[in-house]
Amino acid sequence: MTLPESIFRGKVDWSGENHGMLLKTSPDGPFTAMALFFRILYSPCGPGTVLLLMANPASSAGMPEDCNVVVSDNQALGKYLIREFVAKLEAFASVPAFANLTYLEGCTIPPGSGECPGSVREILHASEHRIELVWKDLGSPVALELPPEHTGPKDRKLYTVLVEARNVEIMVNGRRLPGELAERVQAGIKTTTGFLYFAETWIEPVLDPEAAEADGGEPV
């Protein structure tokens, strides 16, 4: 089967939502809390929910000393995203906490999670811990199409909808983590380190388009 022009000759790596927040306690200092929340709809490991939270990025300790954790309802997916995606994001992979994350399985998402008017709230329970992320003061959605060289991993193409947040909270067992959002620039857009990425799809490029076509046009 020859695929029409409207279909990419590339393999869909994963698709879903990818929301994050990076906080600082001083404008010129390092990030003091970092979170990435994934709601994955399609991946090699199936669907699932994964949260990476580094409550103390400067520490190489995991639980119980520091809440530097990966919480998920699909551990294979959690490990896949950390290994194949987050490890290629310089801001996350370069901090001491990333080398010694504690994996907590079997997270549950209680009622009340999700989108509310004007904000998004994600709540996860894992073990005896309750983690809550809130994005507020949301901007208008903007669709982005980024070639690999403009993405964090640099090895795949990205389609996504960015919604900026100007105010966020991270709560761990009822305690709010200190810090404020910082500024950042993406695709020439001056935005913040609080972000909601909806309808996000990562596509691995075809390494040998001729071979793929000869193989029937199937993604490789």
CB nearer to another protein: pick between 38 and 98: 38
Tokens of 25: 């306690």
Rounded CA-CA distance 34/170 in Å is 9
Of the candidates 29, 112, 114, 178, which one interacts with another protein according to CB under 8 A?
114
Among 27, 64, 111, 117, binds another protein (CB under 8 A): 117
Site membership for another protein, residue 115 (CB under 8 A): yes
Of 61 and 182, which has the nearer Cβ to another protein? 182
Contact 127, 171 (CB under 8 A): no
| Member of 73, 75, 88, 159 binding another protein (CB under 8 A) | 159
Among 144, 171, 182, 206, binds another protein (CB under 8 A): 144
- DSSP E strand boundaries for 46-193: 48-54, 68-72, 102-104, 114-116, 119-126, 129-138, 142-146, 157-172, 175-176, 180-181, 183-186, 189-192
CB atoms within 10 A of CB 44: 12
Contacting range for another protein; rule: CB under 8 A; set: 54-62, 75-83, 127-135, 187-195 = 187-195
CA distance 39 to 72: 10
Number of residues that bind another protein (CB under 8 A): 40
Task: Say how many C-beta atoms besides its own lie within 10 A of residue 108's C-beta.
Answer: 11
Could you tell me the smallest distance in angstroms from the CB atom of residue 76 to another protein?
A: 12
- Among 7, 58, 87, 93, the residue binding another protein under the rule CB under 8 A is 7
Cβ 106 vs Cβ 90: under 8 Å: no
Q: Is 190 in the site for another protein (CB under 8 A)?
A: yes
Map the footprint of another protein across residues 161-180, applying CB under 8 A. 161, 163
Task: Give me the least distance between CB of 212 and another protein, in Å please.
Answer: 13
